[in-house]
Amino acid sequence: MARIVGGIGTSHVPTIGLAYDKGRQNDPAWAPLFKGYEPVAQWLREQAPDVLVMFYNDHANSFFFDCYPTFALGVSPSFEMADEGAGKRPLPDINGHPELAAHMAECLVNDEFDMTLFQDRALDHGCNSPLSLMWPHEPAWPGVIVPIEINVLQYPLPTAARCYKLGQAVRRAIESFPEDLKVAVVGTGGLSHQIHGERTGFNNPEWDDEFLRRIVDDPQSLTRLKHADFVRLGGAESVEVIMWLAMRGALDDKIKCIHQNVYLATTTAMAVAIYEQA
């Protein structure tokens, strides 16, 4: 049977991918960020998961505001990387796992999650920006992906509690899949940042630290927060951290953080963390 080996929380700032593609890993301004991802890449090499289940959001590249799903599950045999206006990143397509995805879809619907299913939709920086730092990809990726898109752009958004429950349902679905697979779950987005309006450039390092502590020790307290709470504490775009709660819901009640790196160099507090089952 399939099993979850651990979880990863990560920012998905588009400039991460741009800096990576330009070979700026050793630039003084970027080295602290890239160094923070090296233990993640090492952990993935050691764990060797067959599948990454990635909770991410699309930034109106493959889903648009005329029809933006709350939760969407990718069931394609492969996914390309989106052209977000400046050309596609130099990354190969990544394979999916249609059998696992179909099984998850049936389980999630039976668990009363009305999922949108998608094929042939490219993955934008919400997915590929951190993915390129964590997994080697030349000439091909070492495993496959099951992407789960979560709406954090167009209100009404799913609640933090609903995302946490989605993660719990995803775990039940994975663990009931009969094939022997190792799965890592990834939640993307955040941390504190706001990129529009009167509070453009807002950050809250104290809240970021508290969020990272509570997602390990007391995730239930985070599920009780409203969207307005996340916006007030971390900025308008920091509501993306509800995708971390989906990842957290797929893990044990008790977990341990074995690596964490936070770097605030631009408008976004860029973080990455590894969580193992306790």
Catalytic (active site) residue 227 = no
Query: HSE (CB half, 13 Å, CA atoms) of 82?
Result: 20
What is the identity of the amino acid at 278? A
Residue 72 β-bridge partners = 116, 149
3-state DSSP: the chain helix, strand, coil percent, rounded to 5?
35, 25, 40
Angle between helix axes 160-175 and 98-110 (nearest 10 degrees) is: 120
Distance CA 57, CA 273 (A): 19
Q: What is the DSSP letter of 237?
A: G
Catalytic (active site) residue 103 = no
Distance CA 217, CA 214 (A): 5
Q: Which of 103, 125, 137, 227 is catalytic?
A: 125
Q: Where are the alpha helices (DSSP H) in the chain?
A: 14-21, 31-47, 98-110, 125-134, 160-175, 205-217, 219-223, 227-234, 242-249
For residue 90, cis peptide bond before it (omega within 30 degrees of 0): no
Three-class SS of residue 197?
coil
Q: Which of 12, 193, 196, 227 is catalytic?
A: 193
**Both tokens of residue 227?**
């969207």
Q: Which residues are catalytic?
A: 125, 193
